[in-house]
């Protein structure tokens, strides 16, 4: 399945984008492909080229594009109104479903983006602990806030716990409020937590950091030492929530944090995110319970809006059905195996990293990668070329991740493995 060239309409849109938007895009995936339509596990660009889609809108479309049940729920709600700024029944029902599903969740507060949810979660920990510093892990992604953009993708990682800013425009003072440890290094994290136990407001971690799974005992050790010192443990589950399991990464890995953040899947493709956690910590959103000094205001025009809520509820109903996760994992394993074989047969040194629902190939001679620094010697030029060759053969993905959906079927798997095999051969 080879895609064709761009038509005049798409080329004109590309030129318009370059004229009216910085870098010619939304700041997300860098490509001149302009998507017009998505159905199930595939998308079509403006020129009519068809792709098996493993970008999935950067993950939200876990049940596939334009799922009939999600569309029906959305269309019914659209006729009743888009947003109210007041409580609505669907948002309340979605919050109740999240509380039932996630071990850490006693209560839920909605926002619109993962960046907001992560920023609120860190602020919530500060309000609860009455301390200011947050410990994160090098290479961990926690949104686009000033605090989130500390040591996310440093090209020259530091040799200490000091954070490094990843963006222009961030005050230097923010660096002093973040501590950084290497992911999967429990001893280093324990040492930092012990040394700064009287300053730390919280520890934030992706239970699966980007594509790097936790090593045995890492999350359990973080849970133990944070509990020992009464420091809130925050799981950033914007990506892993309802993806690794219905109960999220915390259920999949068997470790319960004090607070978690959610996004992507819970909105079914519409703007929605959430902070969930223990009732006594979430009480800081309620002035009547904590008083003016402890109150943490949180206002968002579209927070919990009914269209996103009904899309999320419909998505979760689909995922809750027997066999849903077994199907997603089986599809992922088949694509993983096809990718691994294609690269091996072509003599390419590469490591497949992740979990079956979310993974990618790293062009490296390493036998394993357990932290951010292990990704720094990946052959990015080879990876970029492989992704270009794959895209030319009708497989749409980001440069760093393959998302699997419930909608991907046997034909998608077959076409994908064929594209991987041909691209790997050309790369060789």
Which residues are known to be catalytic?
141, 236, 264
Q: How would you class 187 by CB atoms within 10 Å of its CB: exposed for 0-12, middle for 13-18, buried for 19 or more? A: exposed
Q: Encoding tokens for residue 242? A: 């309802």
Rounded Cα distance, 3 and 18, in Å: 23
Give the residue from 98, 34, 163 showing the smallest Cα distance to 315: 98
Q: Encoding tokens for residue 129? A: 């602990």
CA torsion, ordered 73, 77, 83, 89, to nearest 10 deg: -80
Question: Max Cα separation, the chain?
Answer: 65
Rounded Cα distance, 116 and 251, in Å: 24
Element counts in the chain: helices (H) and strands (E): 14, 14
Task: Check: CB of residue 62 under 8 Å from CB of residue 319.
Answer: yes
| 355 CA to centre of own chain | 13
SS3 content of the chain, % helix, strand, coil (to 5): 40, 15, 40
- 3-state SS of 133-179 is EEEEECCCCCCCCCCCCECCCCCCCCCCCECCECCCCCCHHHHCCEE
């Amino acid at each position: 399945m080879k895609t064709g060239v761009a038509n005049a309409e798409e080329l004109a849109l590309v030129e318009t984008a370059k004229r009216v938007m910085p870098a010619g895009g939304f700041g997300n995936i860098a490509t001149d492909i302009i998507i017009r339509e998505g159905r199930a596990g595939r998308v079509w660009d403006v020129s009519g080229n068809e792709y098996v889609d493993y970008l999935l809108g950067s993950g939200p479309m876990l049940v596939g594009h334009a799922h009939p049940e999600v569309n029906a729920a959305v269309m019914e709600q659209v006729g009743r109104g888009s947003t109210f700024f007041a409580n609505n029944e669907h948002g309340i029902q979605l919050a109740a479903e999240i509380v039932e599903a996630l071990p850490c969740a006693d209560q839920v507060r909605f926002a619109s983006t993962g960046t907001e949810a992560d920023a609120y979660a860190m602020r919530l920990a500060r309000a609860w602990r009455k301390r200011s510093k947050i410990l994160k892990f090098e290479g961990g992604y926690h949104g686009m806030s000033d605090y989130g953009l500390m040591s996310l993708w440093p090209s020259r990682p530091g040799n200490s716990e000091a954070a490094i800013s990843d963006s222009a425009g961030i005050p230097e003072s923010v660096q002093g409020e973040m501590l950084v440890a290497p992911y999967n290094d429990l001893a280093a994290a324990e040492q930092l937590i012990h040394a700064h136990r009287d300053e730390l407001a919280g520890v934030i971690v992706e239970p699966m950091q980007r594509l790097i799974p936790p090593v045995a005992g890492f999350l359990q050790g973080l849970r133990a030492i944070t509990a020992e010192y009464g420091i809130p443990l925050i799981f950033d589950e914007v990506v892993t929530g309802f993806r690794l399991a219905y109960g999220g990464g915390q259920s999949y890995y068997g470790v319960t944090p004090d607070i978690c953040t959610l996004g992507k899947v819970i909105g079914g493709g519409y703007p929605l995110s959430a902070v969930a956690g223990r009732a006594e910590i979430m009480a800081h959103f309620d002035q009547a319970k904590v008083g003016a000094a402890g109150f943490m205001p949180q206002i968002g025009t579209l927070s919990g809006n009914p269209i996103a809520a009904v899309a999320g509820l419909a998505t979760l109903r689909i995922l809750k059905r027997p066999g849903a996760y077994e199907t997603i994992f089986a599809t992922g394993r088949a694509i993983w195996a096809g990718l691994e074989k294609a690269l091996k047969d072509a003599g390419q040194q590469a490591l497949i990293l992740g979990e079956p629902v979310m993974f990618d190939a790293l062009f490296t001679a390493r036998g394993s990668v357990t932290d951010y620094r292990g990704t720094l010697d990946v052959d990015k030029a080879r990876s970029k070329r492989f992704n270009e060759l794959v895209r030319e053969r009708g497989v749409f993905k980001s440069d760093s991740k393959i998302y699997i959906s419930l909608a991907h079927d046997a034909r998608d798997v077959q076409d994908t493995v064929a594209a991987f095999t041909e691209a790997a051969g050309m790369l060789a």
